[in-house]
Amino acid sequence: MFMGEFHHTLDTKGRVIVPAKFRKLLGDKFVITRGMDGCLFGYPIEQWEKLEAQLDKLPLTKKDARAFTRFFYSAAAEVEFDKQGRINLSTPLIKFAKLQKDCVFVGVSDRIEIWDAERWNEFSQEAEDNFEEISEKMTDFDF
């Protein structure tokens, strides 16, 4: 399970170090793609294959399903680590997540997320300010 928050730097060539804790769980290769809320999602191959199976069930006749899968898959890339534990992010992924120099890796159960540090701070502050209200709306979850 992925959890925790780690800060790293994106270099000018689009390379960023993945936290060692996450590298162990991701395996030699993993898939990274556009995520929700303006971040990137990274999945171990096994988890990606489960997600693909779910996406394959979406009806081709539905416009929203086609748009979602097209957008989701079009930027997806299988990545692997270099000797320093870095991955190379594509220009479309960097632009989508508006990644600048400072990045934040967040573990979220079955995936990792990569955020621009400023965007993460904004999201995190908003979530913190509304945590009790958000938790009250989660009717299927008990602490």
What's the whole-number average pLDDT of the chain? Answer: 94
The structure tokens listed for 108 are: 């979220």
Least confident of 6-20, 77-91, 125-139: 125-139
Sorting pLDDT into bands at 50, 70 and 90, what band is 143? low
pLDDT digits (tens, 9 = 90+) for 17-46: 999 999 999 999 999 999 999 999 999 999
Domain spanning 2-116: which CATH class is it, in words? alpha beta
Q: What angle do CA 57, 62, 68 make, to 5 degrees?
A: 70
Q: How many helices (H) and strands (E) does the chain have?
A: 6, 8
| Average pLDDT rounded to a whole number, residues 46-64 | 95
- Smallest CA-to-CA distance from 18 within 134, 96, 114, 131 is with 114
Domain parsing of the chain, residue ranges: 2-116
Cβ atoms 86, 18 nearer than 8 A: yes
Cβ atoms 111, 40 nearer than 8 A: no
Task: Please give the Cα distance from 31 to 86 (Å, whole number).
Answer: 14
The structure tokens listed for 2 are: 């992925």
Task: Please give the Cα distance from 109 to 104 (Å, whole number).
Answer: 16
In this predicted structure, the answer to whether residue 71 has a pLDDT above a threshold of 60 is yes
